[in-house]
Copies of this chain bind each other. A is one copy, B any other.
Amino acid sequence: MGNSKYSIGIDLGTESARTVLVDVLTGEEVATSVYNYQNGVIDRALPDGKTQLEPDWALQNPADYIEALKTTIPALLGESDVNPRDVIGLGTDFTACTMMPIDKNGTPLCMLDRCKSNPHAWVKLWKHHAAQPEADRINQVARERGEAFLARYGGKISSEWFFAKTLQMLNEAPEIYEACDKLIEAADWIVLQLTGEERRNLCTAGYKAMWDKRAGYPSREYFRALHPRLENVVDEKLSRDIYPMGTKVGGITKRMAQLTGLSEGTAVCVGNVDAHVAVPATTVTEPGKMVMIMGTSICHMLLGREQKIVEGMCGVVEDGILPGYFGFEAGQSGGGDIYAWFIRNAVPGEYSAEAGRRDIDLHTLLAEKASRLKPGESGLLALDWWNGNRSVLVDADLSGCLLGCTLNTKAEEIYRALIEATAYGTRKIIKAFEEADVAVDELYACGGLPEKNPLVMQIFADVTGREIKLAASAQTSALGSAMFGAVAAGSENGGYDDIVSAAQNMARLKEKTYHPIAENQRVYEKLFAEYEKLHDYFGRGENDVMKRLKRIRAAVAGGIKK
């Protein structure tokens, strides 16, 4: 143990942060600590309990991020008895685009008394979906001007991204926009807190803020066309200095050292995104191997040697996942979130009673009952749009649909139909890559779902018709961040010079894999054809009922959108 070196990875997620302490040589996860955010997702009212939020809002409290550092890092060090001096590096990853306004001290405006009752002063979480009108405008102006960047994002900028959220702030709370010194990704803010240095990472710049290694940000003219006040948004509120993944930003500050128990000066890596750091942590460092990060939502990550235009992909960014490759990202904005919605909102009391008697949770009970059903047996079909559609339709205003209900429909049948729907969504994404000539030869999975729900994995294998290999780590993103922490430290300090070497030594797969079952595949072929038909009918403009229902809802709520 005397010679071992360690790296810390911190994965700041939607409801919680997970921190791991990893042996740099072997990848062994020596200790893990989880912190559940006190404020969780703020989607009904601000923490003051008074300020109500409109539909589709989703905020976070940045105090929860600091609390996560303060809680988990000392827990790791205490539990493992590792000497802080043997911790050579620290990496972080975040959800994205998760962004906030800060003042010139780096303090989020929501922490200032004068701003804190304005919802726009808070962190807009990735799944904040209230900026759709702004996204529509961003897309419309880009199309009118023939902006080249659009194609890199599957032809559509998402309402989840940086400038949609920025423009919503400018439209609805210009005083907050003016009051802030900077607008910053939480991924970069946490690094700023750790090191005192503002260094913006390539990953969120590329995937969420339309930045490109060759072309930079969209032009001032484009931003001016969007909104006069945005002309100089990049220089006024962001930065043009963008740092590639694995860059060492600096060392842990004295204050942060005191807060966490780490040594002052411990190397800190530039910020990164949860889905992206998971790729090398799932052993994937070359093209053709799609990594699915399966948690509340599902991200699909793929490396390619060339830039290709894939329908509805979230983005293709040069060096965006690993240096030297084009990194493709696609995704589904609902996954485990949808199953969790179902468990919370639609499982009858007698099931809760049974789960209680047997001392298992409802997911386990439902999965057990649902796994006894054959594909097609329930007669149900769902569209997995409870949280909108990211790929391939890029439309947050779509909504979920369940079809085929009868008076005999049972809860476990609906649960299975929802899982199947998310698997169809993934298959639709794979199909889009293949149609754009980007190979998807193998599937890899990591995240919470593969750990917890074998039924989900078998259905994904059956629906996609592909074997699925699994990351060995239960905390793949945190492990990936620790790997990047080791890269930031560098080989001269016992770390690595590049992420590929780190992956070779620190990342592993499980022995268990999921193989498609031929009999199930045959039925799912038919059901997927039905899914596609509904997908196109509701998603491609033939019947925009979902959008109209959302407009009626907004009008009824009295919050008529600009």
A residues within 8 Å of B by Cβ? 43, 55, 334, 337-338, 341, 344-349, 351-353, 374-381, 385-387, 399-411, 414, 523, 526-527, 530, 533-534, 537-538, 543, 545-546, 548-550, 552-553, 555-557
Q: Please state if A553 and B377 are interface contacts (CB–CB under 8 Å).
A: yes
Residues on B with beta carbons closer than 8 Å to the beta carbon of A385: 405
In this complex, what residue of B is CB-closest to A527? B552
Q: Please state if B523 and A556 are interface contacts (CB–CB under 8 Å).
A: yes
In this complex, what residue of B is CB-closest to A333? B407
Q: Please state if A404 and B523 are interface contacts (CB–CB under 8 Å).
A: no
Q: Please state if A407 and B376 are interface contacts (CB–CB under 8 Å).
A: no
Residues on B with beta carbons closer than 8 Å to the beta carbon of A557: 377
Q: Please state if B405 and A401 are interface contacts (CB–CB under 8 Å).
A: yes
Given known A-B contacts A349-B351, A375-B556, A553-B379, A546 and B403 have beta carbons under 8 A apart: yes
Can you pick out 21 interface pairs between chain A and chain B where the beta carbons lie within 8 Å of each other? A334-B407, A346-B411, A349-B353, A374-B556, A376-B549, A376-B552, A379-B553, A381-B549, A386-B406, A399-B404, A399-B406, A400-B404, A400-B409, A403-B546, A403-B549, A523-B556, A530-B545, A530-B548, A533-B543, A534-B545, A537-B543
Residues on B with beta carbons closer than 8 Å to the beta carbon of A352: 348-349, 352
Contacting residue for A409 out of B341, B405, B538, CB 8 A: B341
In this complex, what residue of B is CB-closest to A399? B404
Q: Please state if B407 and A386 are interface contacts (CB–CB under 8 Å).
A: yes
Given known A-B contacts A348-B347, A353-B349, A402-B402, A380 and B527 have beta carbons under 8 A apart: no
Q: Please state if A349 and B346 are interface contacts (CB–CB under 8 Å).
A: no
**From A377, A380, A404, A546, residue with most partner B Cβ within 10 Å:** A404
**Further pairs besides A377-B556, A401-B404: 20, Cβ < 8 Å:** A55-B408, A334-B407, A337-B407, A345-B348, A345-B411, A346-B414, A348-B348, A348-B349, A349-B349, A349-B352, A352-B352, A379-B550, A387-B406, A400-B405, A400-B406, A401-B401, A402-B403, A523-B552, A526-B552, A530-B545
Give the CA-CA distance A349 to B545 in the complex, in Å: 32
In this complex, what residue of B is CB-closest to A530? B545
Q: Please state if B545 and A376 are interface contacts (CB–CB under 8 Å).
A: no
Residues on B with beta carbons closer than 8 Å to the beta carbon of A403: 399-402, 538, 545-546, 549
Q: Please state if A410 and B375 are interface contacts (CB–CB under 8 Å).
A: no
Query: What distance in Å separates the Cβ of A350 from its nearest Cβ neighbour in chain B?
Result: 8
Residues on B with beta carbons closer than 8 Å to the beta carbon of A411: 345-346
In this complex, what residue of B is CB-closest to A379? B553
Residues on B with beta carbons closer than 8 Å to the beta carbon of A409: 341, 345, 386, 400
Q: Please state if B348 and A379 are interface contacts (CB–CB under 8 Å).
A: no
Residues on B with beta carbons closer than 8 Å to the beta carbon of A401: 401-405
Given known A-B contacts A403-B399, A403-B546, A410 and B530 have beta carbons under 8 A apart: no
**From A348, A375, A537, A557, residue with most partner B Cβ within 10 Å:** A348
Query: What distance in Å separates the Cβ of A355 from its nearest Cβ neighbour in chain B?
Result: 9
Contacting residue for A405 out of B347, B376, B381, B386, CB 8 A: B386
Given known A-B contacts A334-B407, A337-B407, A410-B345, A555 and B376 have beta carbons under 8 A apart: yes
In this complex, what residue of B is CB-closest to A362? B349
8 closest cross-chain pairs (CB), A and B: A400-B405, A349-B352, A379-B553, A349-B349, A376-B556, A376-B552, A401-B403, A346-B346
Residues on B with beta carbons closer than 8 Å to the beta carbon of A527: 549, 552
Query: What distance in Å separates the Cβ of A362 from its nearest Cβ neighbour in chain B?
Result: 8
Residues on B with beta carbons closer than 8 Å to the beta carbon of A556: 374-377, 523
Residues on B with beta carbons closer than 8 Å to the beta carbon of A353: 349
In this complex, what residue of B is CB-closest to A405? B400
Give the CA-CA distance A55 to B404 in the complex, in Å: 13
Query: What distance in Å separates the Cβ of A446 from its nearest Cβ neighbour in chain B?
Result: 23
Query: What distance in Å separates the Cβ of A349 from its nearest Cβ neighbour in chain B?
Result: 3
Give the CA-CA distance A380 to B400 in the complex, in Å: 9
